[in-house]
Chains A and B, each alone.
Chain A
Amino acid sequence: MIWFGAALMLLVAVSGLLVVQTRDVTAQVVALGFYGLLMGLVFFFFQAPDVALSQVTVGAIALPLMVMLAISRMKFRSAHSQSANSKGDKHD
């Protein structure tokens, strides 16, 4: 039984590495959510269902959601401020 836990923790370590290796931001957020789910699985295996549920909600819903919201806002802003700037350049 302990080997299953050890394998799970190794999986978490590998997926953490893969989150860093993912370079595209949107794909990275999805990878981060998957990493959060795996962490939840680890907590569940080690008999902490309460913490597992918190981890799944925070790691797989709240954190990717907040990052995605920030990214979408930044993309929207930069897309529209760039178009305004380029118009100004044409006037000059």
Chain B
Amino acid sequence: MTLAVRDLAVRFGGVTALDGVSFDVRAGTITSLIGPNGAGKTTAFNAITGYLRPSGGRVTYDDAPLTGLRPCDVARRGIVRTFQKTSVFPALTVTDNVMIGLHLRGTSGLAAILAGARRVLEEERSLRGRAGEIIALVGLEHRRDHVASALPYGEQRLVELAVALAARPRVLLLDEPAAGMTGVEKDTVSRLIRTIRGLDITVFLVEHDMRLVMGISDVVIVLNHGRVIAEGAPAEIQTHPEVIRAYLGTGGGAAGR
């Protein structure tokens, strides 16, 4: 049940974004991927989840290959990601956003839907119930009938999290879940990430906020110039000479946003 990345390489023309990266995200952990801006973190996410075809290397989950699969098929295997920029279904309500996230949990086919079969209605009702539970989990009950684009930024990020959770991930890839959030909101997010891990979901996150990363991670992987330069527990990473050099040498990217 390990997400294994081996020799993953991504090149855009002459630019090497990922230069043969290898690491494991072990089941049940909170693993963080950090590194200065432009280190290749989001590129790694895109290559793992099928949004980007890697130039080399492979990704497997539970020993089954993910490389070459389309994003929707990666999601079907239980690898679900969020996006760095706020990404919701803007014109729809929070409930409808989460209902879309529940897509794979529905089984109704075209014929049954057109015939208005009773089990379709029952499935709708049970999905709606689940949507309510997930919305409650991220603490947005009071917003369930609000249109997503009308919510404040921090709450939109929570909607995003709810949509991803609805897709029943086994590994959840979070791309800067706390970016641009206030201190209080960041605390909410780190509490949520712990709750999510408690639900038997492995969490793999890219994040700039070091306090958050060091506070919740079991394993931290450091990327610089497309290579892994360190991997270990937060305490080891904080004192790792190479990591310190990478951050200070590139102009203090560790300050985050």
A binds B: no
